[in-house]
Amino acid sequence: MNLTNKALLRDKGYIDGAWVDADSGETLEVTNPATDEVIAVVPKMGAAETRRAIEAARVAQKLWKRRPAKERSNILRKWFTLIMENQEDLAQIITDEMGKPLTEARGEIAYGASYIEWYAEEAKRVYGETIPAPSDDKRIVVMKQPIGVIASITPWNFPNAMITRKIAPALAVGCATLMKPAEQTPLSALALCELAEQAGLPKGLINCIIGDPVAIGGEMTANDTVRKVTFTGSTGVGRLLMKQSSDTIKKLGLELGGNAPFIVFDDADLDAAVEGAMISKYRNSGQTCVCANRLYVQEGVYDAFAEKLAAKVRELKVGNGLDDGVVQGPLIDMKAIEKVEDHVADALAKGGEIVCGGKRHALGKSFFEPTIIKNVTKEMKVAREETFGPVAPLFKFKDAEDVIEQANDTEFGLASYFYSKDMSNVFRVAEELEYGMVGVNTGLISNEAAPFGGVKQSGLGREGSKFGLDDYLELKYVCLSEI
């Protein structure tokens, strides 16, 4: 890795302001999925290190919550500035450890930093309320106070932004934090800790435990000092963490799996719809929770849309994310490739037809050809499961009533998208879709100002916006009497 700022490449856990190895001395290798090269060796930590981090956070949080909001804000602002000054190096770390193209990795750094910038400002706007009391001798005061020590667990697909989307609001309101990044992508998390320390964040407020997810997660969910667990990842692991957290009645933030419908009505601007489908489906090689997972095209424009989309997909350059012009990197590992192959084979066995792609790329390793399948039906796995790869299954539909029923026929409810120019149709469909987020005439909806999150089995809570701040606050009602 050819970094300008070598200090960013950290390979130890970060606990109470110290860079430490695992108690056991055990380690994990970090590999570049585009080359299979080992790029770092990091500690394999467990419950004991997690306990020490929780205690460090508990002690640090008592002082941090008393710091004036403006001081917390200034330190977050400095962290934001340092991240943007180191954007190129941080982007290279992302591409090396998980494969996304450098252009997308640069975008993720700016996106992740935007949450720190946003919450640096929001830190100064945690307002309480007074409420007219039922009797003249009383006053009702409502305070908002930080939850305390929070623990975060994050996935590999956005190894920077999924962390800042949690840590920034938590620190802004006066919480102390632990993070457990995915074992595939610890380096981005450690680089964030390095820059937080340079920004002047006091020790103990941010702790990064690398290693055994079951042991670390087990301590985070069982330890009563941890008052909130915030998780981004698969719905299956989210269910498990929810169960484990119930013994100590923890607050939960869950950003889970998706199965996004992408709907094209026959009155849509087809070129705009194709552009939206390209970014919604093939961003991060289809490895985002809000990727279009099912594309529904009204029967009158089905063939025209399929033809236009295929022309764009065939232009996509697949390769090492560090190489010029590459817009599709490798999938995270061979397990991901096997899941994509299973979905493609299942669709073909049930009557689907390949329009383009459909198999492993000639580059080998975990590269897969950008794929479109047509004549897809609801009996196929691509209709019910999150593919998490560069495969666009095209379903046909008759009218709004038909497609709304198909789109809502899933246990997931994260993101959804549709293209239409008729305002009556726009309002009706947006109101009827059972999802936490709806993109209308766009395929890209994520930003720091908006409440990101899902309904049904896609999660609990919201991240980003003023709503994301509330997720790290407790309400306290103070009743003043004898006034």
- Interface residues with ligand LB4VBGO6 (CB under 6 A)? 157-158, 288-290, 446
Residue 115, SS3 per DSSP? helix
Residue 257 touches ligand NAD, criterion: CB under 6 A: yes
Whether 385 is catalytic is: no
Specify the amino acid at residue 468.
Answer: G
Q: Considering only CA atoms, which of 338, 257, 325 is closest in space to residue 291?
A: 257
Residue 436 touches ligand NAD, criterion: CB under 6 A: no
Residue 289 touches ligand NAD, criterion: CB under 6 A: yes
Per CB under 6 A, contacts with ligand NAD among 330-389 are 386, 388
214 binds, among ligand NAD, ligand LB4VBGO6, none (CB under 5 to 8 A by kind): ligand NAD
Residue 255 touches ligand NAD, criterion: CB under 6 A: yes
260 or 310: CB nearest ligand NAD? 260
Nearest residue (beta carbon) to ligand NAD:
217
Query: Catalytic residue among 255, 275, 369, 386, which?
Result: 255
101 or 253: CB nearest ligand NAD? 253
CA dist., res. 232 & res. 223, Å (int): 20
Options 256, 274, 326, 383; binder of ligand NAD; rule CB under 6 A: 256
Residue 97 touches ligand NAD, criterion: CB under 6 A: no
Residue 183 touches ligand NAD, criterion: CB under 6 A: yes
Residues contacting residue 187 through CB under 8 Å, at least 6 positions apart: 9, 10, 11, 30, 39, 40, 42, 93, 96, 97, 159
Closest approach, Cβ 293 to ligand LB4VBGO6, in A, equals: 12
CB 82 within 8 A of CB 5: no
The C-alpha angle with vertex 49 and arms to 47 and 54, in degrees rounded to 5, equals 90
Closest approach, Cβ 332 to ligand NAD, in A, equals: 7
Q: Considering only CA atoms, which of 256, 222, 223, 219 is closest in space to residue 237?
A: 256
Residue 182 touches ligand NAD, criterion: CB under 6 A: yes
CA dist., res. 344 & res. 165, Å (int): 33
Residue 213 touches ligand NAD, criterion: CB under 6 A: yes
The C-alpha angle with vertex 300 and arms to 295 and 302, in degrees rounded to 5, equals 35
CB 380 within 8 A of CB 352: yes
Binding mask 216-235 for ligand NAD (x = CB under 6 A): -x--------------xxx-
Tokens of 333: 């590992």
Q: Considering only CA atoms, which of 275, 316, 281 is closest in space to residue 295?
A: 281
340 binds, among ligand LB4VBGO6, ligand NAD, none (CB under 5 to 8 A by kind): none
**Residue recorded with tokens 């407790």:** 474
320 binds, among ligand LB4VBGO6, ligand NAD, none (CB under 5 to 8 A by kind): none
CB 170 within 8 A of CB 122: no
CB 143 within 8 A of CB 131: no
Residue 441, SS3 per DSSP? coil
CA dist., res. 83 & res. 120, Å (int): 14
Closest approach, Cβ 41 to ligand NAD, in A, equals: 18
386 binds, among ligand LB4VBGO6, ligand NAD, none (CB under 5 to 8 A by kind): ligand NAD
Closest approach, Cβ 50 to ligand NAD, in A, equals: 11
Rounded to whole angstroms, what are the CA distances from 193 to 150, 176, 361? 16, 13, 36
219 or 386: CB nearest ligand LB4VBGO6? 386
Binding mask 146-165 for ligand NAD (x = CB under 6 A): -------xxxxx----x---
- Scored b (16 or more CB within 10 A) or e, 318-341 reads bbbbbeeebbbbbbbbeebbebbb
Closest approach, Cβ 51 to ligand NAD, in A, equals: 15
Closest approach, Cβ 257 to ligand NAD, in A, equals: 3
Closest approach, Cβ 293 to ligand NAD, in A, equals: 9
Q: For binding to ligand NAD (CB under 6 A), which residues are involved? A: 153-157, 162, 180, 182-183, 213-214, 217, 232-234, 237, 240, 255-258, 289, 386, 388, 414, 459
Catalytically active residues are 255
